[in-house]
Amino acid sequence: MGFLKIVFIIVGSLAAALMIFGGWYFIRMKHELDTMRPLDTQELVPGIYAIKDDHYINMFLVKADAGYVAIDAAHHEDQVKREMARLNIDPAMVRAVLLTHSDYDHVGAVHLFSNATVYLPAAEEQMANGKTARAALIHHNTFHCPYQLIADNQVLDITGLKVKGILTPGHTPGSTCYLINDEYLFTGDTLKLEDRKAVVFNEFFNMDTAAQKNSIAKLAGLTGIKYLFTDHYGYSDTKVFEDWGGTLA
């Protein structure tokens, strides 16, 4: 067997393996996305709004003294703009964007908010700048936007809202939840709700599920929270952390 023939066989085998893996990955990803249950665009409680993008993702807006604070930025600018128009909210009125992490479906429409200061968790910067791969050592998040870093347990006053960042690694190393006015907890992809109880997020998308379990247990120790909001699995005002040794309130 000639050298070139051996090379062609090896290259062909690798290409076939990549095609099989790619097909499996696409099917698995679609299945996982189809399990997600985002909220329709609406005002959920006074001053807090869900914005639906695609069939699987929410971002949120919180009314502030002078405009709004966004938690995450969803994916598609056009759709986010249309959904916000249904609520008569101008993207120019968003004064800050709090990113829970840097995955594409949470940062894609960030440039829509041209008047906003963007906050990125300090521990997530390694994902946003490409230093740490998202998956398979070759897939990196791409994020090109000026931002300010927010540290674990850092508290900010943003147009009259008290905002605390709580580092909750697992989905990504810098995944962060935001506690607003000590009452409203926005968890991004740190957990999902099943039967109104907190469980780990889809493991297929997690970088470290064991770390995420520790993060959920950490959140279970919080008190005084009225509502918990997730980006893919709705929200709850019930005792979502009972299985984690804690309560919601």
Q: What is the pLDDT of residues 127-150, one digit of tens each?
A: 999 999 998 656 789 888 999 999
213-226: pLDDT as tens digits: 999 999 999 999 99
The model's confidence at residue 60, banded by pLDDT at 50, 70 and 90, is very high
- Name the region of 74 (left: φ>0; alpha: ψ -120 to 50; beta: rest): left
Q: Where are the domains of the chain?
A: 38-244
Q: Which residues pair with 43 in a beta bridge?
A: 49
Do 80 and 59 form a contact (C-beta atoms < 8 A)? yes
Q: Which residues pair with 166 in a beta bridge?
A: 177
150-166: pLDDT as tens digits: 999 999 999 999 999 99
What superfamily does domain 38-244 belong to in CATH? Ribonuclease Z/Hydroxyacylglutathione hydrolase-like (3.60.15.10)
